[in-house]
Amino acid sequence: MGWWKKTDFWIALVLFIIGIIGLARGNEAIADPGQDVDPRLAWLYLLAGVIMVVNGILSHRQHLRDLEAEKAKQSQKASQQEVPSR
């Protein structure tokens, strides 16, 4: 599975876009209706985006390790089946 198919990276992209909009247009543009406008809101969205990217990278690396382990198990089973027993 390609890294671009992981949901973590798509969520991070959305969080980055919201954070950039907040920096460009002001925190009022991204605050929920009725929510007190926090002056750090855009930065919090950007930080959340960074956290999601790190989570996606770690998750993808673990997935690749699992795939390698599964391939190693399959090749080991295949080599054991090819050896004729006497």
pLDDT at 30 over 90: yes
pLDDT value of residue 85: 60
Asked if residues 78 and 55 have their Cβ atoms less than 8 Å apart, the reply is: no
In angstroms, the CA 16 to CA 22 distance is 10
pTM of the model as a whole: 0.77
Asked if residues 45 and 18 have their Cβ atoms less than 8 Å apart, the reply is: yes
b or e along 7-37 (b: 16 or more beta carbons within 10 Å of the residue's beta carbon)? Answer: ebbebbeebbebbeebbeeebeebeeeeeee
Tens digits of per-residue pLDDT, 35-60?
Answer: 889 999 999 999 999 999 999 999 99
pLDDT value of residue 52: 96
| pLDDT band for position 6 (cuts 50, 70, 90) | confident
Q: At 43, list the tokens.
A: 């930065």
